[in-house]
Amino acid sequence: MGTKSHLKSQSKGAITFKIIPSTKEETPSKEGKIFIKALFDYDPKEDKAIPCKEAGLSFRKGDILQIMSQDDVTWWQAKHEGDANPRAGLIPSKHFQERRLALRRPEIVVQPLKLSNTKSSGFRRSFRLSRKDKKINKSMYECKKSEQYDTADVPTYEEVTPYRRQIHDKYRLIVLVGPVRVGLNELKRKLLMSDTQHYGVIVPHTTRARRSQESDGVEYIFISKHLFETDVQNNKFIEYGEYKNNYYGTSIDSVRSVLAKNKVCLLDVQPHTVKHLRTLEFKPYVIFIKPPSIEHLRETRKNAKIISSRDDQGTAKPFTEEDFQEMIKSAQIMESQYGHLFDKIIINDDLTVAFNELKTTFDKLETDKKKKKGNRNPAL
């Protein structure tokens, strides 16, 4: 969608962040330590190529590893972050892992997701309905190079740097991703209601006519088609789409304005958009909301109603078996294609349990920071 160049040019907002040259994997960080986030699961016992299985270090997708040596081009030495044991284990180097995964690629059959774009009419309902209508660890690490995923088709490792929010820093952006109808809006609404001062959502732009009960800048920011198209040209939108001859979009500035109010900005986007948001300015914490098994969907959603995506008047209908199957299939595709971008996965089975897990995740991030910094400032 081309928001990247714009986002890049705006990334100066981060004060404490240091970029390292993107081509030098071996460049040590300021403290002389290199940390990487694993983007795949690794078990040395399953690896036929490793020279000594006992010397290997197993890890899971999402683990943070500290690199101890990159002297060998094929096998790096690493240990789990925070592990007091000084003994490092062998892990495949980025180059080696990329090469062998690329060779294995034909086996992986991943269907491209049908994603909303300029001409799409099937984008999330939340895009079209105003939010007002619907009442509403451990140490943290963040990406060092927002460009990495653009170049690396094969997810292996991503270099990260310890995340320390400074007192005057804004909150990180919270990005929620999930298949259509999994319950993103419901969870967002509950979060907003739980603390309206702390959480915020963006006001989307639209070119549709304002209705009598609506106010500009509240339900939507109403703009002309011409201006919308100019803004698209200028990469001002994170996502946009067309529905019934009108444009709807989420602008980058609308995210900034929520963060400027010192609120946690809750934003739901298509998964392919996440990589454009992974900038030094936003440092998004990405949560994938996943459906439970089909049996649990049948059980939990038996009284739930969905609003038809083809109907702007809000007509509700019950979930069908097809809706459930689609949700599960779409979640599988999302996870296999974009799983390496998710910081956390929450299963929306029982709504209250999912909400509490979401809340605990945020609270934990904040509590950890408060403890570390010894002050009362919330930090996400």
Ligand X SMILES: Nc1ncnc2c1ncn2[C@@H]1O[C@H](COP(=O)(O)OP(=O)(O)OP(=O)(O)O)[C@@H](O)[C@H]1O
- Give the binding site for ligand X (CB under 6 A): 124-126, 180-186, 300-301, 304-306, 348, 351, 354
Q: Please identify which residue in the block is written with the tokens 């001062």.
A: 197
With contact defined as beta carbons under 8 Å apart, do 323 and 329 qualify? no
- φ/ψ of residue 191, rounded to 5: -65, -45
Q: What are phi and psi of 142, to 5 degrees?
A: -135, 160
Least distance (Å) between residue 2 CB and ligand X: 24
**Least Cβ distance, residue 348 to ligand X (angstroms):** 5
- How far apart, in whole angstroms, are the C-alpha atoms of residue 175 and residue 95? 30
Indicate the SS3 state at residue 305.
strand
Q: For residue 43, which phi and psi values (nearest 5 degrees)?
A: -130, 110
Q: Which is nearer to ligand X, 126 or 279 (CB)?
A: 126
**Neighbouring C-beta atoms of residue 41, cutoff 10 Å:** 12
User: Which residue, 176 or 252, has its beta carbon nearer to ligand X?
Assistant: 176
Pick 154 or 187: Cβ nearer ligand X: 187
Q: Are 82 and 89 in contact (CB under 8 A)?
A: no
CB of 203 to ligand X, least distance (A): 16
Measured from the Cβ of residue 242, the count of other Cβ atoms closer than 10 Å reads 18
Strand-pairing partners, residue 114, are none
Pair 176, 268: CB distance under 8 Å: yes
Per DSSP, what are the bridge partners of residue 174? 266, 285
Spatial neighbors of 113 by CB under 8 A, at least 6 apart, are 271, 272, 330, 333, 334, 337
Based on CB atoms, which residue is closest to ligand X, 148 or 330? 330
Calculate the alpha carbon distances from 123 to 31, 181, 231, 242, 289 in Å: 44, 11, 19, 9, 17
Burial class (CB in 10 A: 0-12, 13-18, 19+), 128: buried
Nearest distance from C-beta of residue 216 to ligand X, angstroms: 23
Nearer to ligand X, 141 or 220 (CB): 220
How many whole angstroms separate alpha carbon 29 and alpha carbon 164? 15
Minimum Å gap between C-beta 70 and ligand X is: 42
Least distance to ligand X from the beta carbon of 305, Å? 5
Give the nearer residue to ligand X in terms of CB position, either 179 or 284. 179
Shortest distance, CB of residue 290 to ligand X, whole angstroms? 11
Residue nearest to ligand X (CB): 183
Q: What is the rounded distance in angstroms from the CA atom of residue 111 to the CA atom of residue 373?
A: 45
Least separation in angstroms between CB 137 and ligand X: 25
Nearer to ligand X, 141 or 355 (CB): 355
Nearer to ligand X, 79 or 301 (CB): 301
Q: To the nearest whole angstrom, how small is the minimum distance from the Cβ of residue 123 to ligand X?
A: 9
Toward ligand X, which CB reaches closer, 14 or 351? 351
CB–CB of 38/306 below 8 Å? no
